[in-house]
Structure 1
Amino acid sequence: MTDKQEEGLDERRRRLAAELAQRGVADKTEERDEKRAEETRKGYGMAMKISSEFISAVIVGAILGYLFDHFVGTGPWGMIVMLLLGFCAGVLNVMRTVGMVASAHPADRKMDLTNKGEDR
């Protein structure tokens, strides 16, 4: 009778080990899928940020150009120039966000460091 009990226990242990192994694989797969989904969400967030910065720079340039033309009466030239400047500013913002361009001029960084030292 003891041999049958030990065989039954061994069989249950094997089944339990197999079930735990299957659940472990399923848990790892779920973790991997969740990490991938999180990275995708971060990418979408960054894309929305970049696109909104670019579009807002172009729109602000167009509005400023329109207002300049309206009050000064220079015709379409103010809007054309300001629209192009807005486009350039939008491209520069995108490049800064992506990391292709440094965030500030070295002289500006030097001034930031001296200002930080005065605050203390």
Structure 2
Amino acid sequence: MSEEKPERDPIGEDARIDALEARLKAAREREEQRNRPRNQGADANYRLGNRVLADLLGGIGGGALIGWVIDRFADTSPWGLLGMLFLGTVVAFRNIIRISNRRPD
């Protein structure tokens, strides 16, 4: 005689497993929400700072370049360079002051 083992019925879904899966899913969603980057693009202050820096460097660099060209062709070295460098710096600071006095939208 051979001993026959009674076949076991597969264990049905337990309510505790369903609840655990639901809690794990909710925890994963909360974790993804928490780890998601908050600021996707550059904010307004960052763009404004870049604009101020560009105005400052552009004014000084542009004035120096134009002054160097004037000195080169008019043979007025170093007065053209110094004059245009000063003018470029004044224009750059005027633009920065205009930007800083603008009201936020």
Same fold (TM over 0.5): yes
Structure with higher Rg: it is 2
Give the aligned length.
90
Where in structure 2 are there 5+ consecutive unaligned residues? Answer: 1-10
Partner residue of 1:70 out of 64, 69, 72: 72
TM-score by length of 1: 0.56
Where in structure 1 are there 5+ consecutive unaligned residues? Answer: 103-120
Letter aligned with residue 65 of structure 1? G
User: Could you list the runs of 4 or more consecutive aligned residues of structure 1 that deviate by over 4 angstroms after TM superposition?
Assistant: none
For residue 60 of structure 1, give the secondary structure of its aligned residue in structure 2.
helix
CA–CA distance in 1 between the matches of 2:97 and 2:28? 45
Instruction: Give 1:22-101 correspondences, 5 Å limit.
Output: 22-31=27-36, 34-36=37-39, 38-39=40-41, 42=42, 46=47, 47-96=49-98, 99-101=99-101
Q: CA deviation at 1:15?
A: 0.5
CA–CA distance in 1 between the matches of 2:70 and 2:31? 63
TM-score by length of 2: 0.62
More relative contact order in 1 or in 2 (CA 8 Å, sep 6+)? 2
Give the structure with the larger helix fraction. 1
